[in-house]
Amino acid sequence: MEKAAYAAHYLQGAAAAWWESYKTIIPADEPITWAVFKEGFRSTHIPDGLMELKRKEFLNLKQGDMPFMDFLNCFNYLARYSLEEVTTEARKVKLCRDRLNPEMEYALSAHEIHSMKSLVDKALRVESSEGCVPSPCISGFKDSAKTAIHSTASAATSGSTV
């Protein structure tokens, strides 16, 4: 019940108006659980057609050329629309592995992976060891270092101080 009340507190506009109306049709002695809130909200605000479209998008998702974390974010986002497919941790791991690109799947094939945490850890290690994804931290540092060097050199030649 607390989770539903907490979520309802953040509703605005049409969603807040829906909530005020929705509360009146539920008997006063019946608690509004998270399941009741979620079902009511989804049935009102998320059309069945959209749920089906996102479910199909989830079922057809492949890593392809995406960096692993981008793929994982898509996977987790779309999994919300296909909860019956990811009922257990083992099922979620299998579905995620089945959608990895062939190179990543091959690199992970020697490992027994039973949790999403383990899958993420190993996939990130594989990706970074193959050098296929530059670290944004390192490339960002290189870019800012180049800028600093060029601005210092420009200032030195023009006689100003940095």
Cα distance between residue 106 and residue 109, in whole Å? 5
**Residues in CB range of 45: below 8 A, 6 or more apart:** 15, 18
Convert the pLDDT of each residue in 81-112 to its tens digit.
999 999 999 999 999 999 999 999 999 999 99
Average pLDDT of the chain is 83
**C-alpha–C-alpha distance, residues 28 and 39, integer Å:** 18
Q: Between the CA of residue 44 and those of 1, 28, 124, what are the distances in Å?
A: 20, 21, 39
CB 122 within 8 A of CB 113: yes
Residue of 24 and 140 predicted with greater confidence: 24
- pLDDT tens per residue across span 20-64: 999 899 888 888 899 889 889 988 988 889 999 999 999 999 999
Say whether 115 sits in a helix, a strand or coil.
coil
Whether the predicted model's global pTM rises above the 0.85 cut: no
In this predicted structure, what is the pLDDT of residue 131?
A: 57
The average pLDDT across 64-70 equals 95
Dist CA 92 CA 89 (whole Å): 5
Cβ(85)–Cβ(91) under 8 Å?
yes
